[in-house]
Amino acid sequence: MATASVAFKSREDHRKQLELEEARKAGLAPVAGLAPVEVDEDGKEINPHIPQYMSSVPWYLNAERLSLKHQRKWKLDPNYTKAWYDRGAKIYQADKYRKGACDNCGAMTHNAKSCMERPRNLGAKLTNKHIASDEKIETFELDYDGKRDRWNGYDPASFARVIERYEQRDEARRKYLKERQLKKIEEKNNNQIGEGEFSDDEEDEDEDALKIDEAKVDESKQIDFAKVEKRVRTTGGGSTGTVRNLRICEDTAKYLLNLDVNFAYYDPKTRSMREDPLPDADPNEKFYGGDNQYRVSGQASDFMQFNIHAWEAFEKGQDIHMQAAPSQAELLFKNYKIIKEKLKSKTNDTIMEKYGNAASEEELPRELLLGQSERQVEYDRAGRIIKGQETSLPRSKYEEDVHMSNHTSVWGSWWKDHQLGYKCCKQTILNSYCTSAAGIEAAEAASDLMKDNIARKEATEETPALTEEKRLATWGTDVPEDLVLDQKQLAEALKKEDERKKEERVERKRKYNVRWNDEVTAEGMEACRMKKIHHDDPVKNFLH
């Protein structure tokens, strides 16, 4: 066994120490004339089989010899007690206020800030009346376990009051059931007074019934232990309700009815299984058919329709709220169902009156018998053909076949002389009112009259004399040398060129109908050359 000495040992000393430890473990140390076992500082023997990591003394204890004191419980408080505070104990009752006492109640064991009594309008310091007793102040030095003992200071005798309260409740329930049974027996006696007296057998039956009711009361106390309920808070006004969320232990669990993992899904959090775990089983033999059978049966579907109606009515602008005014919402829902049934019956009567009733025993008209065919045609609610005789065209989400201002065609369906217009009336003005065929005839007549007037005017005018003034083109190198330009027409061409470039710069001022002029004159070409910017011109940056 290793010792506490940290002095240097030679190889020989270390060998002797190992031999001594082996001899002590084998019980041969007394035979060899050695000490049988080692002892500590208190004279207690040390077991030689104790491991070295337990018998070695830590260096910080400065032990001179082998010892096991560091393994023993040395933090023992002989004065430790499990006593607790004496609640409500008083040690002294004063008759008058004392200096340094509480200003509110007059006790010496606390000040006014930590006083637990109701604040007085005039404290005991001012009135010198109703002086409170001095409390018993105790201090305990608890160990680690004592500070964390939740039952420390608990009085088991206080549980007797809980048992007494439950016994009083059971006694009151038993008394109530007994009085109710006696009342039923008295009513039965009063009803049968005229028929005769009761026999002994009937009285025995009443007593047996009374004993059975008392036995049921005793069983109800046992049933309360098996009844598991959960208190939940509803989403309404904060009220609470009771929901049975656990199954009875005798029933088979839902997830054990069908062990196929790819079949009905079981949610362990809500303990719900929507699908039927045994769809092929006999309905008369199975007791559970899935949670969906409860969700779509009884008043669940009616309540769901009630909610949907309240939501839709609120979205359409009606002042209805199922939680704020449930009576109003229910009344509106009833009126809605009545009106809906009336409209449905009225629609059925209208259809029956127009097309007849094929389910009746009346004979069909002859024209329907001769006009029947085996071709199937499907219509939508608006009467348009979806599938059948005609090919149904796909329709977009935008409005189609909607024309404004009495037009039967859209803008841009007609084009003439670089102008867009309406095909129905051949007008080139956007958003104009349609004049149909009469407008077309009037426009053609006005055009013919304008052509006649222009021809008549040209015939009456005299031919202007040729001007002697000549001006040669001075811009460009590919212009013929004998080209003669009119100065007046050239000025007009330059003006038109400026306007054209201005319209190009201002894109938003462009019109729908762009008028093109296909006649090209020499003055126009010269104006275009003059306004054109030449990139190789050294003075192009000075032109404005």
Tell me the residue type at 291. D
Name the one residue in this structure whose structure tokens are 């040729």: 466
Burial of 422 (0-12, 13-18, 19+ CB in 10 A): buried
Name the one residue in this structure whose structure tokens are 């104009």: 432
The C-alpha atoms of residue 233 and residue 370 are separated, in whole angstroms, by: 69
First to last CA, the chain: 115
Residue-wise pLDDT tens digits, 83-127: 788 888 999 999 999 999 999 999 999 999 999 999 999 999 999
The C-alpha atoms of residue 439 and residue 408 are separated, in whole angstroms, by: 14
pLDDT at residue 222 greater than cutoff 80: no
Indicate if the alpha-carbon torsion angle 257, 263, 269, 270 is positive or negative. Answer: negative
Nearest to 2 by CA among 56, 58, 61, 64: 56
Work out the percent of the chain whose per-residue pLDDT is above 90.
17
Question: How far is CA 307 from each of CA 300, 326, 333, rounded to the nearest angstrom?
Answer: 11, 11, 10
192: which 2 tokens?
Answer: 């049968």
pLDDT for position 170: 94
Q: Are 77 and 114 in contact (CB under 8 A)?
A: no
Residue-wise pLDDT tens digits, 350-360: 998 888 777 77
423: which 2 tokens?
Answer: 């095909």
Residue-wise pLDDT tens digits, 394-406: 667 777 778 888 8
Query: pTM of the prediction?
Result: 0.24
Strands 419-421 and 385-387, sheet pairing: unpaired
3-state DSSP of 165-186: HHHHHHHHHHHHHHHHHHHHHH
Quickly state the pLDDT bin for 237 (edges 50, 70, 90).
very low
Quickly state the pLDDT bin for 339 (edges 50, 70, 90).
very high
Q: Are 528 and 497 in contact (CB under 8 A)?
A: yes
Q: Average per-residue pLDDT in the chain? A: 77
Residue-wise pLDDT tens digits, 494-503: 888 888 777 7
Three-state DSSP state, 231: strand
Q: Residue 241 is inside which H or E element, if any?
A: strand 240-243
The C-alpha atoms of residue 185 and residue 206 are separated, in whole angstroms, by: 7
Give me the mean pLDDT over the 157-161 stretch: 90
Nearest to 114 by CA among 95, 132, 128, 97: 132
Please state, as a whole number, how many other Cβ atoms lie within 10 Å of the Cβ of residue 295.
13
Give me the mean pLDDT over the 320-325 stretch: 87
